[in-house]
Amino acid sequence: MPKPLDLAMHTVEIYIRSSEWRDRLDSLLRLQKAAYRIESQLIRYPTLPPLFETTQDIIDSDERFLICRNADIAPLDHKTNDDVDGDVSIVGVLSFEPTAHGFHIDRLVVEPKHFGNGIASHLLAAIEAIALRERQPQLSVSTAALNQPAVRLYQKAGYRKVSQRTLPDGLVLVRFEKLLT
Task: Give the pLDDT confidence score for residue 20 in this predicted structure.
Answer: 54
Triad 147, 13, 158: Cα angle to 5°: 40
Cα 74 to Cα 34: distance, rounded to the nearest angstrom? 19
Q: What percent of the chain has pLDDT over 90?
A: 59
| Mean pLDDT of the chain, nearest integer | 82
Which residues are CB-contacts of 97 (< 8 A; sequence separation ≥ 6)? 61, 62, 63, 64, 103, 104, 106
CATH of the domain at 67: 3.40.630.30
Triad 173, 175, 180: Cα angle to 5°: 165
Q: How many domains, the chain?
A: 1
Q: What percent of the chain has pLDDT over 70?
A: 76
Q: pLDDT for 97-142, tens place per residue?
A: 999 999 999 999 999 998 988 899 999 999 999 999 999 999 999 9
Evaluate whether residue 67 is within a structural domain. yes
91: helix, coil or strand? strand
Evaluate whether residue 47 is within a structural domain. yes
Q: CB burial class (10 A; 0-12, 13-18, 19+) of residue 83?
A: middle
Which residue range is the domain that position 29 belongs to? Answer: 3-136
Task: Give the pLDDT confidence score for residue 61 in this predicted structure.
Answer: 86
Evaluate whether residue 150 is within a structural domain. no
Instruction: Look at the chain and count its residues.
Output: 181
6: helix, coil or strand? strand
Cα 41 to Cα 36: distance, rounded to the nearest angstrom? 8
Evaluate whether residue 94 is within a structural domain. yes
Determine contact, residues 72/18, Cβ cutoff 8 Å. no
Cα 142 to Cα 165: distance, rounded to the nearest angstrom? 10
Evaluate whether residue 63 is within a structural domain. yes
Task: Give the pLDDT confidence score for residue 19 in this predicted structure.
Answer: 55
Evaluate whether residue 109 is within a structural domain. yes
Query: Which of these, 174, 58, 50, lies nearest to 109 by C-alpha position?
Result: 50
Task: Give the pLDDT confidence score for residue 21 in this predicted structure.
Answer: 62
Cα 145 to Cα 176: distance, rounded to the nearest angstrom? 11
Evaluate whether residue 161 is within a structural domain. no
